[in-house]
Amino acid sequence: MKLQKKFMKIAISEAKKGINKDENPFGACIVRDNKIISWAYDKVFTDNDMSSHAEMLAIREACRVLDSCDLSGCILYSTHEPCPMCFTFAHLVKIPKIAFGVFIEDGRKLGYSRDTFPARKMKNLLNSPINLHPGFLRREALGLIRMWEKKRLIKNSLWVNLS
Ligand SMILES: [Zn+2]
């Protein structure tokens, strides 16, 4: 299963939808046999559910669509390095390959980091066979964090102007 930019671009466009809805700047999609099975953006604030990360929602939907808890033929594309919860979920459903754009350290530098513990370390901790492909379309994925940050600054400056 070769990684394809077009699938990461779907995850990126999902993240943009999320940013437009004042969600966190993350998107994900799951692909099997070059077909998209599921796609999602973060819905933490919409759902008031801290587990509504894009990757979690995409995995849940893929399991529903494929009627299985075994996603061993699938690739997960995520715009951001998965957090420990999402990585563990991917590990449990036997996803063999994850491509992600932004590193946790990248997000932190730009003012956003969902979590402080990288998937790269989770892999070692769980002794997980998941194949990680960090930095896939990283530049485009970084643009999401910048877009989110810009929106946040504009919003904050409006608050300052109004008060
Ligand atoms: Zn997560």
Pairing of strands 74-80, 27-32: antiparallel
Residue 78: the pLDDT is: 98
Q: Which residues pair with 78 in a beta bridge?
A: 28, 100
Q: What confidence score (pLDDT) does residue 115 get?
A: 61
Check residue 108 and give its pLDDT.
Answer: 79
Q: What is the pLDDT of residue 156?
A: 78
Contacts of 146-150 spanning 24+ positions with Cβ under 8 A: 146/110, 147/16, 147/19, 147/25, 148/19, 148/24, 148/25, 148/112, 149/110, 149/111, 149/112
Cα(109) to centroid(ligand 1), Å: 19
CA of residue 163 to ligand 1 center, whole Å: 35
* Ligand 1 centroid distance, CA of 35 (Å): 23
CA angle at 54 for the pair 145 and 119, rounded to the nearest 5°: 75
- The reported pTM is 0.93
**Residues noted as catalytic:** 55
| Tokens encoding 132 | 């990680």
pLDDT in tens, the chain (163 residues): 789 999 999 999 999 999 999 999 999 999 999 999 999 999 999 999 999 999 999 999 999 999 999 999 999 999 999 999 999 999 999 999 999 999 988 887 877 766 678 999 999 999 999 999 999 999 999 999 999 988 888 877 776 666 5
